[in-house]
Amino acid sequence: MNSIDQKIFPGQNSFPRTIQVRHVSQAHAGDACLHLQSGSASASVLPIGIAYHISSEGAIDFICLSNLHLVFVISFDRYHDDKPHPSTNFANLLLSRDDVGRRNEELEICLVGFSFPRTAIHVNHVTQRHVRGVDLSTLFSPNPREPWSPPKIVKERVHSSTNAWDISSLWLGDERMAERNTCLQAWLAVWYV
């Protein structure tokens, strides 16, 4: 899959209709991170969305990292060693740091996702790297013990006329649509800004 036609925001000119998708192995995760960070940002914070897919054996198959127009699908070997992922660029992105190769001293990288604590645990397990970011499910909720669902976040913070079912269906676990749905989860997380 080289692109995804998103239908979550149909007819809205401010949202791209097609999202580019690139596939890389875990060995090239650092290159993907550099590419996502190199895009121009109109604000001082560059959000990078993150989502993951778990295999039927319970291990991460792939992680999706996204900016507003591009998603990287980073695949992981079934049998990874217990050493930290070797890429400094990948580690810095997971920690929401951009110490190496910063192009704009004012730009801050911020990893964002839905149900971020669960994401951080699973990503840490496969990469052996610490993960830091913003949990959108509790960020806007008046009570952190009652996190908002992704459809509620998108309706309240991004676009009020979105179809809640289209967003909810991304989390239903349809294996035939796993890559597409996980890419869209990461991409949606970026639009809260």
Q: What is the pLDDT of residue 42?
A: 62
Q: Which of the four pLDDT bands, split at 50, 70 and 90, describes residue 106?
A: low
Helices 178-190 + 150-157 axis angle, to 10: 40
* Residue 45 in this model has a pLDDT that exceeds 90: no
Spell out the domain ranges in the chain.
3-190
Q: What is the pLDDT of residue 118?
A: 93
Rounded mean pLDDT, 126-153: 89
Burial of 108 (0-12, 13-18, 19+ CB in 10 A): middle
Is the pLDDT higher at 11 or at 119?
119
Task: Tell me which of 1.10.1740, 3.30.460, 3.30.420, 3.40.50 is the CATH number of domain 3-190.
Answer: 3.30.420
* Residue 78 in this model has a pLDDT that exceeds 70: no
